[in-house]
Structure 1
Amino acid sequence: MTEPVLIWDLQAELGEGPVWDAARSCVWFVDIKGRRLHRYVPASGEKTSWDAPDQIGFALPAEDGSLICGVRGGLHRFDVEAGDFSLFHPVEVDRPQNRLNDGFVSPDGALWFGSMDDSETETSGALYRWFRGELERHDDGYGVTNGPCLSPDGRTLYHHDTLAKTILAFDHSDGVLSNRRVFAVTEDGYADGPSMDAEGVLHVGLFSGWGVARFAPSGQRIGTIRLPVQTVTKAAFGGPDLRDLYCTTAWLGNADKRIEQPTLGGLYHVRVQTPGLPQSLIRL
């Protein structure tokens, strides 16, 4: 494992949702509070940003080459060539206090994502699955949702209630969840975005925890990848061999720490030994 390297000092207020786009050999991620979508191309170092219509929780690649984005109020399609966002599926019109947060694409092409109260005071967040035009709510009552992600065999889905510092696990079969249980609790930070490696080790960004926590399939904490900033929101595997770990960070709630941590909100890179899982594409 290499030491973390700052590759984009963009100082995002709430950087989130890194994802590897193999077709374009780039990393997409968002600044939720800054309402911006970002793209980083490792081979050239090219950095590009777009303004989003509202707070944007995730941007994930679809089979038609577009990105499907979780913007407050609904799912939007982002046309990469035109740089345009267009709403195609409203979400939670009955919960106007909420916004969308983290998301994930399962191998069957389904989009899983969560919502949360924007003020982080009510437990009005929920877990959803969108598949080919159909939206289904699978769980409810979250403070701040993050995730989900799946085990390599697809039989376990992990999803977080970040305010409770709790990682939940569900049995998963063909898009159906059961046996909701506590998988782990993070004591040294808030369990933020998760990613999975090829050996079934869960990697969890630690908000206020200075790194990325690693959990064995048993739920045992087996280590931490330390970063030089305290608010790590998510780490995603990328690169040709899926051994490049891209970590988003944030200064939200820590503006007073920016003097001693001036790179809060930057995008970091760590080279790891075990690869991650290939990024699936959303089926439309």
Structure 2
Amino acid sequence: MVPERVLSVGATLGEGPVWVARDAALWFVDIKQNRVHRFDPATRAAQAWDAPDQVGWVLPTTDGAMIAGLKTGLHRFLPADGSFTPFHDPEPALPDNRLNDATVDARGRLWFGTMDDRETDTTGRLYRLADGRCADAGLDPVVITNGPAVSADARTLYHTDTLGRVIWRVPVNDDGSLGRAERHVTIEDDAGYPDGCVLDADDCLWTGLFGGWGVRRYDPAGRLITTVRLPVANVTKLAFGGPDLGTAFVTTARKGLDAAALAGQPLAGDLFAFDPGVAGVPGGIADISNFEGGVE
């Protein structure tokens, strides 16, 4: 489990890695540079698109396009022409919030979080877009939402309170409503902040550690079983990719590093990969075809 740099991008805030099987490529974003990236590990070819605002993630949709989470809300993204079309703003009364992290479960439900862009106010919430509507998932608000991740059977959701250093485990009912949240993992004060998380085929949880120089793997009971160190401090999120989902790709960030820190970690903001010794699970594809909110 020795990570190697596979793409030099120098991202200010690399985030949201996701393997898109129909494209055989890894997609990720640089939130602060308003950029969407695509990386083909087979050819090492890379592409990038400019977004109209800070972009937290892009995910595939059932109509062959992609949905993107921007500071201004959900947008439909077409890589063919680089266009972003407004789709829905879940928080029009909170202009200082932005969308931060997201996932799609096996049932095609989109789960995404918001956060205070200044990282001070407790205005971040988790939302669910499913069955033609977008709704608050009902969890307590936090400053920075992260994750989320959903188990392969779509019955358990993991939700990260980054500044609180807690990853919560929440049962998901058949109708998409959530049960009572239970503390799953608490990150100790000197180990960085839990960032994006993802589950592997053994139902173990991997989380990036912002300021923690690596990623960690926790078993289904929340016990730490693996730590993989990276040569950069700000590690954001891991995604399983490749034809067998057996490669771990990791995004990182330069955000918050001064000149001295950057001199000591010149690979900060780049994309890394390693062999995790376990496969991931196929990602879901968002079904937004019957959304009732229309374009906002």
Aligned equivalents of 2:132, 2:257: Cα separation in 1: 39
| Aligned with residue 267 of structure 1, among 258, 264, 271 | 271
Unaligned runs of 5+ in 2: 289-296
Alignment of 1:94-133 (within 5 A): 94-133=93-132
Alignment of 1:6-21 (within 5 A): 6-21=5-20
Alignment of 1:150-161 (within 5 A): 150-161=150-161
Aligned equivalents of 1:140, 1:59: Cα separation in 2: 25
Q: Deviations over 1:83-136 (max 9, x none)?
A: 111111122001111000000001110110000000000010000001254100
TM-superposed deviation, 1:154? 2.6
Note if 1:190 corresponds to 2:193.
yes
Give percent identity, aligned residues only.
Answer: 46
TM-superposed deviation, 1:224? 0.8
Note if 1:163 corresponds to 2:163.
yes
- Equivalent in the alignment of 1:205: 208
Instruction: Give secondary structure in 1 for the equivalent of 2:163.
Output: helix
Instruction: Give secondary structure in 2 for the equivalent of 1:78.
Output: strand
RMSD: 1.0
Q: Tell me whether 29-38 or 127-136 shows the greater mean CA deviation.
A: 127-136
TM-superposed deviation, 1:173? 1.8
Aligned equivalents of 2:41, 2:243: Cα separation in 1: 11
Unaligned runs of 5+ in 1: none
TM-superposed deviation, 1:152? 3.0
- Contact 1:70–1:100 (8 Å) recurs in 2: yes
Q: Tell me whether 146-155 or 182-191 shows the greater mean CA deviation.
A: 146-155
Alignment of 1:246-257 (within 5 A): 246-256=249-259, 257=261
Q: How many residues align?
A: 283
Q: Deviations over 1:53-105 (max 9, x none)?
A: 10101101111221100001210011121111111112200111100000000
Q: Tell me whether 102-111 or 82-91 shows the greater mean CA deviation.
A: 82-91
Residue identity matched to 1:151: S
Residue identity matched to 1:177: L
TM-superposed deviation, 1:140? 3.6
Note if 1:242 corresponds to 2:245.
yes
Q: Tell me whether 124-133 or 54-63 shows the greater mean CA deviation.
A: 124-133
Higher strand share: 1
TM-superposed deviation, 1:144? 0.5
- Contact 1:102–1:147 (8 Å) recurs in 2: yes
- Contact 1:124–1:140 (8 Å) recurs in 2: no
Aligned equivalents of 1:151, 1:280: Cα separation in 2: 11
Aligned equivalents of 2:227, 2:153: Cα separation in 1: 24
Aligned equivalents of 1:149, 1:35: Cα separation in 2: 24
Aligned equivalents of 2:160, 2:32: Cα separation in 1: 20
Residue identity matched to 2:185: A
Aligned equivalents of 1:145, 1:240: Cα separation in 2: 30
